Amino acid sequence: MNHGISCANQFYCFILLRYQTFGQLSKYTSAMYAEMPPNEKEAWNQRAEADKARYLHELANYTPPTGYDNKGDALATHSSTAAPTKRRGGGAPKNTRDPNAPKRSELLC
């Protein structure tokens, strides 16, 4: 089944073939979560809390390099002659981010 999109990786191909849209995938996962037993939900909630604590600990110990704010976002330059760089496809300028900044929680909270 070709949708005009090349499959970047095997997982994306699996999702694309099984669920045609993100909305369908979202409905399926929310239904699975609703049917999950409370003790299993508690295990996922504990993982989310542990990941949130890890993120907050990393954020508290993070010192950004020059030119970045505490969250790792690039500070805007105040030069009146400097034009913002646009992305290749046009649209709004891409917000540059410090690659060493703490990553957000990988689990959905």
Model pLDDT for residues 58-107, shown as the tens digit of each residue = 888 888 888 888 777 888 764 444 445 555 666 666 667 777 777 776 65
CA distances from 4 to 1, 7, 16, 65 (A): 9, 10, 11, 42
Domain boundaries, the chain: 10-60
Half-sphere exposure of 84 (CA within 13 A, CB side): 12
**65: Cβ–Cβ under 8 A, 6 or more apart, which residues?**
98, 100
pTM here is: 0.45
The separation between the first and the last C-alpha atoms of the chain, rounded to the nearest angstrom, is 34
